[in-house]
Amino acid sequence: MREETVAHTIENIRIASASSSGLVNLSKVFKSYVVESIATVTFGEGFLGEGMSERIQRLVEENGKLLFELHLEDLFPSYKWLEFFTGLNARATKIFHGWDDLFDELIDAHIRAVGGADEGNSDFVDVLLALQKEDSRDGAVLTRNDIKAILQDIFGAGIETSHVLLEWSMAELIRNPNVLTKLKEEIEETIKGKSTVAEDDISQMEYLRAIFKETLRLHPPAPLLIPRESTEDTTIQNYMIPARTRVFVNAWAIQRDTEYWESPEEFLPERFLRNSLDFNGNDFKFFPFGGGRRICPGVHIGLSNFELVLANLIHHFEWKLPNGMKERDLDMDEAPGIVVKMKSPLLLVATDSQ
């Protein structure tokens, strides 16, 4: 399924390259790729009808904005009535119905299709519906609302994080041509003349894995992770943190701290070749997926989505900046948000390498 989605993405890049501007908006391409990939795993290819990808993208974007914006009603809860004047209530209700209608349609379509999908091809909604039946036999019930909440969690947490990471990695590759060349060499040596990179080839590419880690170090998509609340009074470096305080962990700053990293501002994937540092949350100098009980459950799908498409994009195309732009001119500014995107869309020129 992922290989098909990658093939579709390569096609989209060829179409964009043939347009009058010849520019590929990689921010857009990666977003569509991730939505298609996660949506197919979640509710199956057959349900990805006309306009579905755009519909999900709009909901994810609006969700992100609502979470990040400053709302006076949050600071002054007793002025809750404000939300009727600021339009917050109307926007929140609209987006709630957007998700709710989408999930109702999908769940109903899966229920109607029962018996159609063979076991090997079942998607995540099929699995949840099967669990719902099993659970109800034991008296515990997975409700339709539970299923919708799980689906919303996947789309809310999995899409933006994954596509911004791809954008940052491609931007760093363009700014660091020596890294790009080394990656291309690794890919070509591994696939030995095959026309495309398959899932099975990926496990042999250790430099690609190091690029994944180095992008996560410099550009953790969720730089403050997800907020936590202290359960008891704690003292850290003479600061007393009372119980029930909202705590943010600044992974972004820790992963650029000169105390732990040599030349932390530089993109050097090699630093991950010399050690066994991983992203499983066990080392508190590198934890881009968080850690502990609430560590990201999407680590492996995030990793697979990243490596397969990046390796194929580098194999199939030669990439360069448009209009004689120099590497140092590439805008690496971050846009504010819970998930940190590039401020300007990443526009590149792609030429077929075959």
Which among 8-16, 68-76, 235-243, 296-304 is the span making contact with ligand HEM, rule CB under 6 A? 296-304
Residues 142, 148, 154, 156, CA torsion sign: negative
Residues 340, 166: Cα–Cα separation, whole Å: 12
Query: How many residues contact ligand HEM, by CB under 6 A?
Result: 23
Amino acid type, 309 = V
CA trace torsion 206, 261, 227, 43 (10° rounding): -10
The residue among 269 and 288 lying less far from ligand HEM, judged by its C-beta, is 288
Q: Does 15 bind ligand HEM (CB under 6 A)?
A: no
Helix (H, G, I), strand (E, B) or coil at 282: coil
Using the rule CB under 6 A, is 288 a contact of ligand HEM? yes
Buried b (16+ CB within 10 A) or exposed e, 170-179: bbbbbbbeeb
Q: Which span sits near ligand HEM by CB under 6 A: 46-54, 82-90, 161-169, 340-348?
A: 161-169
Among residues 24, 221, 252, 286, the one that binds ligand HEM under rule CB under 6 A: 221
- The yes or no reply on residue 297 touching ligand HEM (CB under 6 A) is yes
Please select the residue that binds ligand HEM; options are 157, 277, 321, 349, rule is CB under 6 A: 157
Q: Is 17 among the annotated ligand-binding positions?
A: no
- Strands (E) in the chain, as ranges, are 23-25, 228-229, 234-236, 239-241, 246-247, 317-320, 347-352
d(CA 246, CA 221): 20
Which span sits near ligand HEM by CB under 6 A: 4-12, 63-71, 176-184, 293-301?
Answer: 293-301
- Are 301 and 41 spatial neighbours (Cβ–Cβ below 8 Å)? yes
Q: Which of these segments, 64-72, 83-91, 195-203, 218-226, binds ligand HEM (CB under 6 A)?
A: 218-226
- Site for ligand HEM, rule CB under 6 A: 38, 153-154, 157-158, 161-162, 165, 221-222, 225-226, 288-291, 294-298, 301-302
Residue ranges at the known binding site for heme? 296
